[in-house]
């Protein structure tokens, strides 16, 4: 068995980094290192000389890693790394999941695959969580807006809660708009009156 | 007419304007296409989104498709430059400390003479000059190398060019990780606004007509989807023409400033559009003609000689075979696709696809397909001319 593959994970969020590490540990025995500080990214990678670097696609520091693709660049790095080219389908899946992998020159595709598979699965989960969180937040905010609009109608018209809600819903239907949008319009323009 | 959606990636920079304007001002709709604009977090991610088909086209640094053709960076997917989105637009700036040393040495920050500014910069730097650029494959990097090498400052012994994502440039300057930087707008103005540095030189003083961003597509997509690519090239060309009208500037700055795009004050964006830059903390202003061109002088024509210049520069500093690099780089600038899309419109189409770069010191007439067209000055600061190899 050749030497243990060394992996560097670039991730500022500690929890996320730990989750990625856990997923990789399940996939095999690797030497894993996490970089959380963007300013020291180039130095750390240079120092560690990992076989694979995993980075979130949305991380703006990613462009720093591109310097490593210059095999004999002005900085004369001893190691040339490439965006993973071992399997177009796998690379595309990684991009879709939001992770990109840099792989050291000469690494066998068969050794890269399980690592990338594990990373992709984990990043897909992050993506789902992010979407769910955003949806929940939005629902909560809309709920609050509707409650405030309802309160305003109750006060202005001297009606009960159910009737206020019915009025709001009727207005939304008449204007062909979402309930939350009508509520928002009411709440934001009411601010002008007080 | 049925409208077809095209997803187009961009980086939030002033020179993404032709794509944003093509969408917002209806030039895309006039061509029967709808642009779905997608903001990307970094150049490498945008290149990969394009390579793997997550976007159909992208706002791209002119050297990226050339680098891809040479096998540098990326996933090895061939990319094409279907048109040039913008010419010039970058600035070189220095940290506050370096600014003080330059002033102490008597530099006037006249913002026009690349030789004077470069010699002053070399004199003011202690030993190694560290310069931050947005990406290793960028006109920023190529122009800085060209400038300092021509002035006799050898890389890598005396100059280190380092990739620093522009949103982190202010931090890198303040932390003393870089001494100077070369960026596109709004990042130069942002460095001045945030009191991190002063602007020393527009890159147009190094090369007066340098291709900056291109409309990049996958080469195979370009062959298969001509029916989509041609309207896209036309829509972007119309947007560039609109942008070149000074009367459009206020609205353009307003559009670009929206949160979905740059999310910045229109006043800062207008500096790049008007070429009137605030260069220092003291509020000194400099007017630069041709600071950022979207249309004038057939700016959008992807000259094969521009591709070759980039390929030769990139090869020279990475140790690649220069002739081979020149050939593959030239093939990336698709003047053929551009002509096909714009023939029969009012666009200036030159008779040739190659030209000598750096030969014009003033606006000059050039043979067009029918009659003549005007080209803008394109001199290099050291007076060298670049002759592309014979076809």
CB contact under 8 A, B48 and A84: no
Cross-chain CB nearest to B75 (options A61, A73, A85): A85
Q: Where are the beta strands (DSSP E) in chain B?
A: 4-10, 33-39, 57-61, 79-88, 90-95, 129-133, 159-163, 180-184, 197-202, 211-218, 276-278, 285-287, 292-293, 364-367, 372-375
B178 and B322 co-located in one domain = no
B44: chain A residues, CB-CB within 8 Å: 62-63, 65-66, 83, 100
- Cβ–Cβ < 8 Å for B344, B237: no
B25 and B107 co-located in one domain = no
Question: Residue A80: its pLDDT value, please?
Answer: 60
Asked if pLDDT for residue A76 goes beyond 50, the answer is no
Question: Residue B377: its pLDDT value, please?
Answer: 94
Q: Comparing A41 with B12, which gets the higher pLDDT?
A: B12
Which whole number is the average pLDDT over B249-275?
96
Length of chain B: 391
A83: chain B residues, CB-CB within 8 Å: 44, 48, 73-75
Q: How far is A99 from chain B (nearest CA, A)?
A: 10
B173 and B219 co-located in one domain = no
Confidence of residue B126 (pLDDT cuts 50, 70, 90): confident
Which whole number is the average pLDDT over B258-270?
95
Confidence of residue B391 (pLDDT cuts 50, 70, 90): low
Pairing of strands B372-375, B364-367: antiparallel
CB contact under 8 A, B42 and A63: yes
B55 and B153 co-located in one domain = no
Q: Which fold has domain A134-193?
A: Arc Repressor Mutant, subunit A (1.10.10)
A82: chain B residues, CB-CB within 8 Å: 73
B318: chain A residues, CB-CB within 8 Å: 70-73
Q: Where are the beta strands (DSSP E) in B113-255?
A: 129-133, 159-163, 180-184, 197-202, 211-218
Neighbours of B102 (CB within 10 A): 21
Asked if pLDDT for residue A82 goes beyond 80, the answer is no
CA–CA separation, B331 and B321 (whole Å): 16
Confidence of residue B75 (pLDDT cuts 50, 70, 90): confident
Measured in degrees and rounded to the nearest 5, phi and psi for residue B320 equal -85, 160
Residue B252 lies in a domain: yes
Q: Which fold has domain A6-132?
A: D-Maltodextrin-Binding Protein; domain 2 (3.40.190)
pLDDT digits (tens, 9 = 90+) for B347-389: 999 989 999 999 999 999 988 887 889 999 999 999 999 999 8
B106 and B192 co-located in one domain = yes
Question: Residue A112: its pLDDT value, please?
Answer: 87
Q: Does a cis peptide bond (omega within 30 degrees of 0) precede residue B123?
A: no
B168 and B75 co-located in one domain = no
Cross-chain CB nearest to B318 (options A39, A73, A100): A73
Question: Residue A79: its pLDDT value, please?
Answer: 52
Asked if pLDDT for residue B65 goes beyond 90, the answer is yes
Which whole number is the average pLDDT over B318-323?
88
Inter-chain contacts counted by CB atoms under 8 A, chains A and B: 94
Residue B266 lies in a domain: no
B103 and B158 co-located in one domain = yes
So what's the ipTM on this one? 0.85
Question: Residue B1: its pLDDT value, please?
Answer: 55
For A96, the closest chain B residue by CA position comes to B54
CB contact under 8 A, A71 and B318: yes
Interior CA angle at A60 toward B34 and B53, to 5°? 40
Asked if pLDDT for residue A72 goes beyond 60, the answer is no
Asked if pLDDT for residue A2 goes beyond 80, the answer is no
Domain total in chain B: 2
CA–CA separation, B134 and B136 (whole Å): 7
Percent above pLDDT 90 for chain B: 89
Out of A16-25, B67-76, B103-112, least confident range = B67-76
State the average pLDDT for chain B.
94
Q: How far is A141 from chain B (nearest CA, A)?
A: 20
CA–CA separation, B8 and B58 (whole Å): 5
Q: Comparing A71 with B216, which gets the higher pLDDT?
A: B216
pLDDT digits (tens, 9 = 90+) for B129-175: 999 999 999 999 999 999 999 999 877 778 999 999 998 899 999 99
Domain that holds residue B59: 4-86+211-261+294-349
End-to-end CA separation in angstroms for chain B: 41
pLDDT digits (tens, 9 = 90+) for A16-26: 999 999 999 99
B228 and B80 co-located in one domain = yes
Asked if pLDDT for residue B325 goes beyond 60, the answer is yes
Residue B374 lies in a domain: no
Residue B371 lies in a domain: no
For A57, the closest chain B residue by CA position comes to B45
Question: Residue B6: its pLDDT value, please?
Answer: 97
Asked if pLDDT for residue A77 goes beyond 50, the answer is no
Give the CATH number for residue B188: 3.40.190.10
Residue B69 lies in a domain: yes
- Cβ–Cβ < 8 Å for B96, B198: yes
A66: chain B residues, CB-CB within 8 Å: 43-44, 73, 135-137, 163
Q: How far is B71 from chain A (nearest CA, A)?
A: 10
CB contact under 8 A, B44 and A62: yes
CA–CA separation, A106 and B217 (whole Å): 29
pLDDT digits (tens, 9 = 90+) for B215-236: 999 999 999 999 999 999 999 9
CB contact under 8 A, A73 and B136: yes
Asked if pLDDT for residue B110 goes beyond 60, the answer is yes
Cross-chain CB nearest to B161 (options A57, A65, A74): A74
Residue B354 lies in a domain: no
Q: How far is B43 from chain A (nearest CA, A)?
A: 7
Asked if pLDDT for residue A190 goes beyond 50, the answer is yes
State the average pLDDT for chain A.
85
How many angstroms separate the Cα of B276 from the Cα of each of B89, B140, B213, B239, B286? 12, 20, 21, 22, 6
B98 and B194 co-located in one domain = yes
Asked if pLDDT for residue A171 goes beyond 80, the answer is yes
- Which residue carries 């794509």 as its tokens? B19
**Hey, of B7, B40, B73, which one would you mutate to test binding to chain A, going by the most A CBs within 10 A of its CB?**
B73
CB contact under 8 A, A66 and B45: no
Q: How far is A13 from chain B (nearest CA, A)?
A: 17
B161 and B35 co-located in one domain = no
B146 and B96 co-located in one domain = yes
A73: chain B residues, CB-CB within 8 Å: 136, 317-318
B135: chain A residues, CB-CB within 8 Å: 63, 66
CB contact under 8 A, A69 and B136: yes
Answering whether pTM is above 0.95, one says no
Nearest Cα to Cα of residue A114 among A87, A95, A83, A79: A87
Q: Does a cis peptide bond (omega within 30 degrees of 0) precede residue B134?
A: no
pLDDT digits (tens, 9 = 90+) for B281-317: 999 999 999 999 999 999 999 999 999 999 999 999 8
How many angstroms separate the Cα of B289 from the Cα of each of A29, B21, B111, B209? 60, 22, 11, 11
How many angstroms separate the Cα of A153 from the Cα of each of A140, A168, B207? 20, 8, 65
Q: How far is B348 from chain A (nearest CA, A)?
A: 36
- Cβ–Cβ < 8 Å for B28, B58: no
User: What are the structural domain ranges in chain A?
Assistant: 6-132, 134-193
Which whole number is the average pLDDT over B251-274?
96
B170 and B61 co-located in one domain = no
Asked if pLDDT for residue A121 goes beyond 60, the answer is yes
């Amino acid at each position: 068995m050749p030497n243990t593959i060394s992996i560097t994970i670039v991730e500022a969020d500690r929890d996320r980094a730990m989750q990625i590490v856990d997923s990789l540990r399940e996939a095999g025995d690797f030497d894993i290192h996490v970089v959380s500080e963007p300013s020291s990214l180039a130095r750390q990678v240079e120092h560690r000389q990992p076989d694979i670097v995993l980075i979130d696609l949305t991380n703006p520091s990613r462009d720093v890693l591109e310097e490593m693709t210059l095999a004999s660049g002005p900085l004369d790095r001893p190691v040339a790394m490439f965006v993973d080219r071992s399997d177009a389908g796998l690379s595309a899946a990684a991009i879709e999941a939001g992770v990109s992998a840099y792989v050291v020159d000469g690494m066998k595709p068969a050794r890269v695959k399980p690592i990338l598979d594990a990373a992709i699965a984990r990043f897909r989960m992050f993506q789902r969580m992010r979407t769910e969180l955003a949806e929940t937040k939005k629902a909560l905010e809309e709920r609050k807006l509707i409650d405030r609009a309802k309160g305003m109608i109750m006060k202005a018209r001297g009606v009960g809660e159910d009737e206020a809600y019915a009025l709001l819903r009727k207005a939304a239907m008449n204007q062909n708009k979402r309930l939350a949008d009508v509520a928002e319009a009411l709440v934001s323009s009411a601010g002008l009156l007080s | 007419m049925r409208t077809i959606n095209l997803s187009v990636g961009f980086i939030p920079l002033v020179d993404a304007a032709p794509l944003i304007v093509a969408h917002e001002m209806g030039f895309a709709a006039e061509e029967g296409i709808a642009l779905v604009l997608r903001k990307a977090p970094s150049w490498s991610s945008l290149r990969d989104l394009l390579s793997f088909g997550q976007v159909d086209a992208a706002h791209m640094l002119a050297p990226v498709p050339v680098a891809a053709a040479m096998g540098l960076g990326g996933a090895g997917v061939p990319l094409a430059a279907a048109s040039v989105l913008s010419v010039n637009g970058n600035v070189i700036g220095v940290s506050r400390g370096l600014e003080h040393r330059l002033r102490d040495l008597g530099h006037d920050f006249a913002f026009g003479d690349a030789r004077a500014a470069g010699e002053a910069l070399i004199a003011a730097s202690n030993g190694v000059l560290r310069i931050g650029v947005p990406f290793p494959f960028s006109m920023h990097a190529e122009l800085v190398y060209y400038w300092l090498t021509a002035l006799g400052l050898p890389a890598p012994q005396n100059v280190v060019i380092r990739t620093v994502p522009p949103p982190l440039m202010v931090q890198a300057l303040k932390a003393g990780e870089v001494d100077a930087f070369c960026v596109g707008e709004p990042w130069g103005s942002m460095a001045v606004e945030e009191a991190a540095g002063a602007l020393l030189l527009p890159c147009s003083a190094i090369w007066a007509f340098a291709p900056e961003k291109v409309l990049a597509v996958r080469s195979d997509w370009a062959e298969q989807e001509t029916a989509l690519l041609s309207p896209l090239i036309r829509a972007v060309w119309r947007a560039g023409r609109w942008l070149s009208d000074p009367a459009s500037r206020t609205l353009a700055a307003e559009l670009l400033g929206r949160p979905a795009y740059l999310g910045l004050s229109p006043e800062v964006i207008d500096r790049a559009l008007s070429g009137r830059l605030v260069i220092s903390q003291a509020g000194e202003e400099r007017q630069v003609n041709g600071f950022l061109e979207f249309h004038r002088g057939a700016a959008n024509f992807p000259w094969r000689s521009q591709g070759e210049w980039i390929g030769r520069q990139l090869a020279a500093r990475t140790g690649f075979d220069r002739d081979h690099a020149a050939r593959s780089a030239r093939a990336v600038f698709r003047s053929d696709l551009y002509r096909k899309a714009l023939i029969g419109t009012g666009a200036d189409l030159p008779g040739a696809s190659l030209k000598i770069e750096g030969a014009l010191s003033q606006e000059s007439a050039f043979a067009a397909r029918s009659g003549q067209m005007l080209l803008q000055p394109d001199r290099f600061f050291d007076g060298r001319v670049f002759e592309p190899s014979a076809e």
